[in-house]
Amino acid sequence: MHFGFSYVGLIYLLMLMAPNIIWTKHKPADYEKYAANENKALLALERAGEVLVSCAVLIFKDFNIRCTPWLWWLAVSFALMVLYEVFWIRYFRSEKTMRDFYGSLLGIPVPGASLPVIAFLLLAVYGKNIVLGASVAILGIGHIGIHLMHKEALSAEKPGE
């Protein structure tokens, strides 16, 4: 692991944050009802993971592009981030319901939560960076866990409820 600024990490964070900032003005109807019932332990893991991942991805230059056989890990990771952007485009063009927000993408469940987590995990593999890997694990447990609970609650409701 090598300390230094990661421009790749900055690009990933911009790809992650830009649609989330827009989303704050376009939340699905009834989202707050689901958020009110979030598991506090998962929420704590999610928040800690967000901070840890954001810091780790910026302070290690291991994630910057370099000639290595491991470069394909970065390519797959970036492809997942592009799919994440596709998820957001699909959502913003939809009616912005909870079902739109939690619909799978190419068979990937809760893509808004799982795609960036997997992308950052593969970025950690590419950079051979255990700090980012552990941070992503913490984030993933909280973030994906929360969104799977939202999806489960949504599935328990009848359409239109």
Q: Is residue 68 part of a domain?
A: yes
Q: Is residue 2 part of a domain?
A: no
Q: Is residue 112 part of a domain?
A: yes
Cβ-count burial of 149 within 10 angstroms (0-12 exposed, 13-18 middle, 19+ buried)?
middle
pLDDT tens for 86-97 read: 999 999 999 999
pTM of the model: 0.93
- Domain ranges, residue 26: 7-156
pLDDT tens for 103-154 read: 999 999 999 999 999 999 999 999 999 999 999 999 999 999 999 999 998 8
Q: Is residue 49 part of a domain?
A: yes
CA separation, residue 110 to residues 41, 63, 65, 102, 136 (Å): 20, 26, 29, 5, 17
Q: Is residue 161 part of a domain?
A: no
- Work out how many domains the chain is built from and give that number: 1
Q: Is residue 113 part of a domain?
A: yes
Q: Is residue 1 part of a domain?
A: no
